[in-house]
């Protein structure tokens, strides 16, 4: 990436029961992003439908598809028509009984530039992802595209500094996080605020620690628990872009469906890393404990 790059990211509701309706919303947003000059567009996590991991239901596996497959091919055609690079999040069927939460990167000519399989898989009330997703096995490897080397990570990965660091050490020029995260509607306003601030703060910390811009794209809207056992999830939006010193470049609110557009300047990473040479001063000889679960 040798010149400024215009990136768009799409904050949208994904609660329609018909996957085509959600996809059409995404496709319309891709067109708007291209019209506004974007060369790279990021979509939210699992944007084809409601967040099905609120419950454990084997019927949901029918929603998975191979990669390449119907949705990646549709997105590839649109990417080629618009001349943009697209990052999208899909439910991948790899083999019978093996499914992944996978981000695909479609080049501006429509080809599949690469994919990233979500590495950190949560298993919490309302987020039963371990039931559905096999942990990723592609590692933290950036994906080279015509516009930049992309460090693509997915949602729960955004809490782990190790993931961001390894992407940075492998030469990622920007960190991208397609996301589906929200509040328990029963939580107090104070607790909701703490969660939102922690979510943003940790990712801005990744930007600072690695001297890289960070783009985080979340969904919005209330999605009920199909079983009625929990109050469901109100996805908190607040998609944002941060610069390499953690500075907020743009941010959405918790409700509005919109396309955000931001320009990032690769020279900023060089300038910031000269001022704050964190990568230079790492004590790689002393970090062996990081490979252990806990230092008893």
* Residue 107 appears among annotated catalytic residues: no
Q: What angle do CA 51, 165, 249 make, to 5 degrees?
A: 65
0.95 exceeded by the pTM?
Answer: yes
Catalytic residue among 118, 173, 217, 223: 118
> Could you tell me if residue 127 is inside a domain?
yes
Would you call the peptide bond into 68 cis, given omega within 30 degrees of 0 as the criterion?
yes
> Could you tell me if residue 52 is inside a domain?
yes
**How high is the pLDDT of residue 113?**
98
Q: What is the pLDDT of residues 234-244, one digit of tens each?
A: 999 999 999 99
**How high is the pLDDT of residue 2?**
79
* Average pLDDT over every residue of 49-74: 97
Q: Which two tokens stand for residue 254?
A: 């918790």
**How high is the pLDDT of residue 96?**
97
* Residue 39 appears among annotated catalytic residues: no
Question: Please, which residues have CB within 8 angstroms of residue 123's CB and are 6 or more apart in sequence?
Answer: 129, 130, 131
Q: How far is CA 100 from CA 63, 73, 208, in A?
A: 12, 18, 30
Quick one: which of 142, 174, 36, 10 has its CA closest to 88?
Answer: 10
Please give the torsion angle defined by the CA atoms of residues 72, 76, 78 and 83, in that order, rounded to the nearest 10 degrees. 150
Residue with tokens 């215009």: 6
> Could you tell me if residue 28 is inside a domain?
yes
Arithmetic mean of pLDDT over the chain = 97
Reported as half-sphere exposure (CB side, CA atoms, 13 A), residue 146 has a value of 15
* Residue 270 appears among annotated catalytic residues: no
Query: How many structural domains comprise the chain?
Result: 1
- Stated as kind and residue range, the H or E segment containing 269 is helix 266-275
Three-class SS of residue 151?
strand
> Could you tell me if residue 296 is inside a domain?
no
Catalytic residue among 14, 53, 155, 217: 155
Torsion sign across C-alpha atoms 268, 274, 276, 279: positive
Q: Is the pLDDT of residue 183 over 80?
A: yes
**How high is the pLDDT of residue 212?**
98
d(CA 203, CA 127): 20
* Average pLDDT over every residue of 151-171: 98
- Stated as kind and residue range, the H or E segment containing 105 is strand 98-106
Q: What is the pLDDT of residues 13-54, one digit of tens each?
A: 999 999 999 999 999 999 999 999 999 999 999 999 999 999
Catalytic residue among 14, 45, 115, 217: 45
> Could you tell me if residue 157 is inside a domain?
yes
Q: Which two tokens stand for residue 273?
A: 């890393």
> Could you tell me if residue 245 is inside a domain?
yes
d(CA 21, CA 14): 9
CATH number reported for the structural domain that contains residue 217 in this entry: 3.60.110.10
The whole domain housing 264 covers 5-291
């Amino acid at each position: 990436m040798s010149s400024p790059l215009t990136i768009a990211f799409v904050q949208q509701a994904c609660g329609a029961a018909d996957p085509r309706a959600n996809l059409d919303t995404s496709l319309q947003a891709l067109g708007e992003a291209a019209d506004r000059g974007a060369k790279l567009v990021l979509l939210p996590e699992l944007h084809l439908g409601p967040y099905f991991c609120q419950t454990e239901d084997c019927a949901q596996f029918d929603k998975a598809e191979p990669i390449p497959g119907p949705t990646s091919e549709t997105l590839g055609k649109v990417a080629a028509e618009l001349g943009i690079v697209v990052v999208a999040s899909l439910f991948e069927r790899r083999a019978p009984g093996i499914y992944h939460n996978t981000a695909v990167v479609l080049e501006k000519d429509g080809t599949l530039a690469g994919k990233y399989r979500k590495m950190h898989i949560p298993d919490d009330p309302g987020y039963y992802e371990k039931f559905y997703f096999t942990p990723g096995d592609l590692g933290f490897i950036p994906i080279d595209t015509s516009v930049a080397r992309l460090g693509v990570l997915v949602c729960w990965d955004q809490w782990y500094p190790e993931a961001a660091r390894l992407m940075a050490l492998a030469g990622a020029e920007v960190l991208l996080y397609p996301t589906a995260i929200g509040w328990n509607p029963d939580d107090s306003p104070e607790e909701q605020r703490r969660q939102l601030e922690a979510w943003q703060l940790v990712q801005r910390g990744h930007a600072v620690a690695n001297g890289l811009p960070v783009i985080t794209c979340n969904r919005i809207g209330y999605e009920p628990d199909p079983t009625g056992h929990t109050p469901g999830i109100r996805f908190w939006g607040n998609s944002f872009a941060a610069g390499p010193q953690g500075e907020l470049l743009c941010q959405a609110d918790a409700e509005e469906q919109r396309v955000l557009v931001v320009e990032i300047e690769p020279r900023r990473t060089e300038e910031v890393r000269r001022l704050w040479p964190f990568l230079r001063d790492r004590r790689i000889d002393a970090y062996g404990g990081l490979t252990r679960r806990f230092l008893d």
